[in-house]
Amino acid sequence: MVAVFDVGNTNLHAGIYEGRTFIQRWHVPTRSKLPVTRIRRILSRSKLSGVAVSSVVPHLTKQLVGLCGQYTVRAVVISSRIDCGIRYAYDDPATLGADRIAAIAGALARYRRDAIIVDAGTAITIDVALENGRHLGGLILPGMEMLAEAMHEKTAQLPRVRVERPKNLAGRSTEECLQSGIFNGTMNMISGLIRELRARYARDFLCVSTGGAGALMARHIPEIDKHDPDLCLYGALTIYYRNVSD
């Protein structure tokens, strides 16, 4: 069995795989006392042979690797410095987030298509990759919760609103105007960017969403072909097997 950890700014996602078969998953808030407790429980499994770590939270990465050492479990930490099967477009690949690397690897391994990957987490990332492993680049945008928080924190009178689709496109209250701007603005922006990327590269990209708001986006953005909630976990697992031989 292999344990896979996807450590994001908001949530830690973990899964157990037997070979490439998903057995169990967990989700816990990153900013709580639960992650280390949950990690210890997972690492204490007697049949565990290895761990894959995709993390954008450095202090938890360090803790995770340290715990793997305590339990004498082999750990593969995802980064551009190891074999991920990707040829990077970045000038400095070391600055490309592990979550994005895992998502790209997962999309290419699972679907074997030219792909646009929309990972809608705390921030929204969009990456473009070809079936042959060539990464063409991407975009980083604020997530909807981040926008809602920023609008409240950076102004004197705007309230903190719940992120949801409002009844009216043209809002009839300050709260509804904010909700429409955040929700409909984000959905239309992502929709337009996907269309522009397809036109710019003149390719029949499969567009896959993942992340906490990925399912919501897939329901409201027709350009998204498929939602894959476990894409980053599967990508990290794929990278693990590329770098470990039993």
Walk me through the domains of the chain, giving residue ranges and CATH numbers: 2-77 (3.30.420.40), 112-229 (3.30.420.40)
pLDDT at 119 over 90: yes
Predicted confidence band at 55 (pLDDT cuts at 50, 70, 90)? very high
Average pLDDT of the residues in 147-159: 96
pLDDT for res 246: 58
**Angle formed by the axes of helices 34-43 and 58-70, to 10°?**
30
Question: Do 12 and 2 contact (CB within 8 A), yes or no?
Answer: no
Predicted confidence band at 39 (pLDDT cuts at 50, 70, 90)? confident
* Sheet of 206-210, strands arranged across: 135-142, 123-129, 115-120, 206-210, 226-227
pLDDT at 41 over 90: no
Two tokens at 193? 């960017």
State the Cα–Cα distance between residues 92 and 69, nearest whole angstrom: 30
> From the candidates 91, 92, 99, 228, which is the catalytic residue?
99
pLDDT at 31 over 80: no
User: Is 119 annotated as catalytic?
Assistant: no
**What's the pTM?**
0.93
Average pLDDT of the residues in 152-175: 96
Average pLDDT of the residues in 185-200: 98
